[in-house]
Chains A and B, each alone.
Chain A
């Protein structure tokens, strides 16, 4: 255990939580809540043009200014949270669950399964993500499910590579041998023996992947794929209002900040997850 700069909270709960993690959690929670209740929070409907001016400044009524069509930015960001958080979360979950399970399985089973899986996923990995996205959307059009599946498909190989390399080490441990000669099934081996040992790094990896997915989502929207109008994820908001950058229009600054806060805090949270306190005799 290393000494931590921040103080301890909640050691009464038998967990050691640290301040940075708490802040991260607060922000993530904030956006999650926004995402859930966006529909009730927005002052104007997302598509409604409320300002004759465009890239309007912040002022009462339009707290975050107006966008390139003169729509209320606050409403659009609140709704955008729903898409950015929702889609990225769904995608990262699918990607990591699939990737990690496959990775662990490959490490345990070894042999042909391993090499075949590795080859295929390597191949997938070698196709540039944005191009992959482009082709998929060109082929089957852009809807939220498609978007989610595409994003996850793009990040499965990474998760696979990562978890496999971890699992390979665990697999050499004697407790794996013990479990094997007990006659345990593959599911038990990866679920109950390996996973608990790699969950930490896997989560950390998930955090970074989340950032990349959020960014890729905005990248794809740069290439004109994404949520259906009038709705837009944050990346799309930044994109469509990029013209406001020269004037420092809130329409482009705010969504950028929103993205940053979300991604940064997710990582802070994961880097500082609460740890179970082993020392039982703690006060």
Chain B
């Protein structure tokens, strides 16, 4: 009966592979379009032609980019992410720590924002047209229409500078207790929750309202079911598909989209890492980060589909 899920996951894996290849080539060609190379960038103002040439040879950047890219691809097949041009460290070690950080932040944010968004979206749908509903709708749009760096900076000023309740920076290396964890993550998580929730709330509300207009919900009403029961037991399960899909899309933002948050809270995540990589033309690093973002995105989308299928007996 569930035979469909594994087969779907399998087919998704193939698709994922194709997508990954597309992305890596796209990213590669994008990188080749960027002016300058690691050598000249590292030398910066000191980039006299001979100096650049010397460094280039020293860094083996003088062979064509395509070669280096393909060699990197081969390495990838052997599970080797290559070494960074900028500082000769293995990309794996550069990424590892920061990927964990990113995942932690994303995870915590998801933990807060998903239930929040669900509750708001569903309740809004439950009392659709009511004042509550209108408030939720307006507020959600209002919230997303404030640039995140304003939200973040205001939060820091209020909670860190004036009230001194929370640290202005998230020192991941100084987390020893759960309390530390809370303090370190409170503000980035709140800010990100602001950013990602709105879309989920809107989609959730819309999807639930859609299913509320179906005959089987009317049927349940005529069985004497209460409003909450109608929504939770009859509308929600059938609205789950689109909802999880919207969530997957919103959450995928938490991987690569949080540059600004990472900057403001000095949070060493993977988004900033890729920005660095781009600014130093660090091909292996750029590629690896891009792969991670793409993979994360695909995983989320696939997960959403699987959930949608499990939630819908017709598809099982």
Contact = CB atoms under 8 A, between A and B. Distances in A.
A211 B145 contact: yes
B145 A128 contact: no
A239 B145 contact: no
A226 interface: no
Interface string A1-14: 01111000000000
Contacts of B134: 5
Interface residues of A, number: 48
A122 to B, nearest CB: 6
Contacts of B150: 238, 242, 245, 252, 256
A158 B26 CA distance: 18
B153 A127 contact: no
A263 B153 CA distance: 21
Interface string B238-254: 00000000000100110
Contacts of A124: 26
A142 interface: no
Secondary structure at the B interface, as helix, strand, loop or mixed, is helix
Contacts of A218: 147, 149
B117 to A, nearest CB: 14
A127 B153 CA distance: 26
A129 B27 CA distance: 13
Interface in A211-232: 211-212, 214-215, 218-219, 222-223
A219 B148 contact: yes
A120 interface: yes
B275 interface: yes
Contacts, number: 133
For B144, B202, B279, B298, which residue has the most chain A Cβ atoms within 10 angstroms?
B144
A268 B154 CA distance: 27
A138 B30 CA distance: 10
Contacts of B294: 123, 126-127
Nearest to B260: A222
Contacts of A260: 142, 145-146
Contacts of B18: 119
Contact of A242 (B34, B149, B279): B149
Nearest to B277: A131
B303 interface: no
Nearest to A122: B19
A135 B29 CA distance: 11
Interface in A127-147: 127-131, 134-136, 138-140
Interface residues of B, number: 51
A127 B31 CA distance: 13
Contacts of A126: 19, 23, 252, 293-294, 297-298
Contact of A127 (B27, B128, B149, B259): B27
A128 B149 contact: no
A212 B146 CA distance: 10
A61 to B, nearest CB: 27
Contacts of A271: 137
A263 B141 contact: yes
B271 interface: yes
A273 B256 CA distance: 35
Given A3-B129, A264-B138, A135 B34 contact: yes
A283 interface: no
Interface string B116-158: 0000000000001100001001100110111111100110010
A259 interface: yes
A129 B257 contact: yes
Nearest to B301: A122
Given A120-B22, A219-B148, A208 B256 contact: no
A131 B199 contact: no
B313 interface: no
A246 interface: yes
Interface string B1-19: 0000000000000010011
Given A134-B278, A215-B144, A245-B150, A119 B15 contact: yes
Contacts of B33: 139-140
Interface string A245-283: 110000010001001101110011001000000000000
Given A119-B18, A127-B293, A128-B293, A245 B145 contact: no
B235 interface: no
B260 A123 contact: no
B115 to A, nearest CB: 22
B145 A138 contact: no
Given A125-B297, A126-B298, A131-B256, A264 B145 contact: yes
A246 B275 CA distance: 28
Contacts of A235: 147
Given A128-B271, A242-B153, A139 B34 contact: yes
A246 B271 contact: no
Given A242-B150, A246-B161, 11 more contacts: A122-B297, A122-B301, A126-B294, A127-B26, A127-B27, A127-B256, A130-B260, A131-B275, A134-B278, A238-B150, A260-B145
17 contacts: A120-B22, A124-B26, A126-B23, A127-B27, A127-B293, A128-B253, A128-B271, A129-B257, A130-B259, A131-B256, A131-B274, A138-B279, A139-B33, A211-B141, A222-B147, A223-B260, A264-B145
